[in-house]
Amino acid sequence: MKDITMPSKKLGFGLMRLPLKEDGVTIDTERTAAMADEFLKKGFTYFDTAYGYHGGESERALKKAVIERHPRESFTVATKLPAWMIKEKADVDKIFNDQLEKTGAGYFDYYLLHAVSKDKLDVYDGFDCWNYCLEKKKEGKIKHFGFSFHDTAAVLDEILTNHPEAEFVQLQLNYLDWDNDAVQAKLCYEVAEKHNMPVIVMEPVKGGTLARLPESVDAIFKAKSDASAASWAIRFAASQKNVFMVLSGMSDEAQMNDNIATMEDFQPLSECEIETVNKAVEEYKSFNTVPCTACRYCTDGCPVSIRIPDVISALNQAKDYGLGAKARRMYEKAL
C-alpha cells in the first residue's frame, strides 16, 4: 500500500451534517466545538470538510470549533476542490486560497479533488488540477493528495492508471452498497486495492439509512449483540484491509459517543459477524427502498426547491413501515 501518514484511530468526523440551530440552517458552532473536544479527548484526530458543505460554512465552523481552539499538530484537516465551481483556471488558485483563509489551517493534511467522476474530468484534467495539487504539495500547503470518487470501478481503474500521483482515494462504501450494481462499492474497493491505494470511506452508515433499519433487519443484529445498528455499519467499512479512515457525519452528541465507543478500540468483524451482515443485507433487499444517502447534492440544482432526499426518506419510511402517520408527517415536512 502507498506510504502515507495515517492517524492511529480510524474514525473521522465528517463535517457535512453538523448540528444546526433552530432555524435549521445555521451551524451550532458551540455544540460542534463540544463534540470536537470530546472527539479529540478520546484520541481521534481526523476532520473532513469541503468547500461547499453547509452552504460554504462548514470550513468556517471547523476554524471556530477546532482550528482556533487546539494546537495545529493535534488534529488533521481534509478538504476538497469542487469541479462545479471552477469556470476558468484562475478559479483553482482562488478557491484554494479562500479555503486556507476560511479554515485558518495553514496547510491541509489531506486535499481531495471532490466527487471525481468521468464527467468531471473535463474540469480536473482540463484545468490541470492534479498538477496544481502537486505544486501545493511541494510548497508544503498539502501533505497528501487524493480524490473522492463517484462512478464505476472501470472509471476508477482508468483514473488511477492515468494518475499515479494520487496518494489515496475516498470511496462510498457500506455493507448495503457492497454488491450494488450502481454504486459498485466492492468492485471500486478492489480496484483501489489493485493500485495499492489507501482508502478513506465516506457514507459508511449510508447517510443514516443503516442506523434506522426496518425492524426485521434490526432483529438480525440484535440477536447477536446489543451494539447499535450504526456500529455494525462502521465496523464493516473499517474492516476492509486498505481502509485507514472511516468518515461519519455525526450530527449530535449521542451519535458521536456511540461511534467513538465503536472505534476507540476497533475490532474488525469476525467471520461469524460477516455472516450476520450478509443475512441482514438479504433481509433488507426485500424492502426495495430507494438507495438515497441524503447527501443533498441534488437539492441546489432543483429549480423549485423540492427537498428531494426528504421526500425519498418519507417514501422509504412508507416502504419499510407502511403508509402510517410518521411517513405522512415526513412527507408533509418535506414539502
Ligand X SMILES: NC(=O)c1ccc[n+]([C@@H]2O[C@H](COP(=O)([O-])OP(=O)(O)OC[C@H]3O[C@@H](n4cnc5c(N)ncnc54)[C@H](OP(=O)(O)O)[C@@H]3O)[C@@H](O)[C@H]2O)c1
Q: Which residues of the shown chain bind ligand X in the complex (CB under 6 A)? A: 14-17, 48, 80, 114-115, 148, 170, 202-208, 211, 228, 230, 247-251, 255, 258-259, 293, 295
When binding is defined by CB under 6 A, the residue of 100, 297, 311, 331 that contacts ligand SF4 is 297
Of 169-177, 193-201, 227-235, 289-297, the window that binds ligand SF4 (rule: CB under 6 A) is 289-297
> Could you tell which of ligand X, ligand SF4, none binds residue 214, using a CB distance below 5 to 8 A set by kind?
none
The distance of closest approach from Cβ of residue 48 to ligand X in the complex, given in angstroms and rounded to an integer, is 4
Rounded Cα gap, residues 130 and 154, in angstroms:
20
Q: Which of positions 14-33 make contact with ligand SF4 (CB under 6 A)?
A: none
259 binds, among ligand X, ligand SF4, none (CB under 5 to 8 A by kind): ligand X
Q: Which is nearer to ligand SF4, 36 or 201 (CB)?
A: 201
Residue 83 CA, distance from chain mean position: 18
Nearer of residues 114 and 136 to ligand X, judged by Cβ: 114
Alpha-carbon gap, residue 170 to 243, rounded angstroms: 9
Name the segment binding ligand SF4 (CB under 6 A); options: 58-66, 184-192, 233-241, 307-315: 307-315
Find which of ligand X, ligand SF4, none residue 48 binds, CB within 5 to 8 Å per kind: ligand X
Q: Which does 152 bind (CB under 5 to 8 A by kind): ligand X, ligand SF4, none?
A: none
Q: How far is the CB of 137 from ligand X (least distance, A)?
A: 19
Residue 309 interacts with ligand SF4 (CB under 6 A): yes or no: yes
The amino acid present at 135, given as its one-letter code, is E
Residue 293 touches ligand SF4, criterion: CB under 6 A:
yes
The answer to whether residue 302 forms part of the interface with ligand SF4 (CB under 6 A) is no
Q: What are phi and psi of 114, to 5 degrees?
A: -85, 130
Q: Does 84 bind ligand SF4 (CB under 6 A)?
A: no
52 binds ligand SF4 (CB under 6 A): no
Of the candidate residues 308, 311, 318, 334, the single one contacting ligand SF4 (CB under 6 A):
308
Q: Are 13 and 31 in contact (CB under 8 A)?
A: no
- Binding ligand SF4 (rule: CB under 6 A), the pick from 296, 307, 319, 331 is 296
The residue whose grid cell reads 462510498 is 172
Which residue among 191, 292, 315, 327 contacts ligand SF4 (CB under 6 A)? 292
Question: Which phi and psi angles does 100 have, rounded to 5°?
Answer: -60, -40
Q: Which does 308 bind (CB under 5 to 8 A by kind): ligand X, ligand SF4, none?
A: ligand SF4
Among 105, 133, 294, 315, which residue sits at the site for ligand SF4 (rule: CB under 6 A)?
A: 294
Q: With helix as H, strand as E and coil as C, how does the chain read?
A: CCCCCCCCCCEEEECCCCCECCCCCCECHHHHHHHHHHHHHCCCCEEECCCCHHHHCHHHHHHHHHHCCCCHHHCEEEEEECHHHCCCCHHHHHHHHHHHHHHCCCCEEEEEEEEECHHHHHHHHHCCHHHHHHHHHHCCCEEEEEEEECCCHHHHHHHHHHCCCCCEEEEECCCCCCCCCCCCHHHHHHHHHHCCCCEEEECCCHHHHHHCCCHHHHHHHHCCCCCCHHHHHHHHHHCCCCEEEEEECCCCHHHHHHHHHHHHCCCCCCHHHHHHHHHHHHHHHCCCCCCCCCCCCCCCCCCCCCCHHHHHHHHHHHHHHCCCHHHHHHHHHHC
Q: Give the shortest CB-59-to-ligand X separation in angstroms.
A: 11
Partner whose binding site includes residue 211, from ligand X, ligand SF4, none (CB under 5 to 8 Å by kind): ligand X
Binding site for ligand SF4 (CB under 6 A): 292-298, 308-309, 312
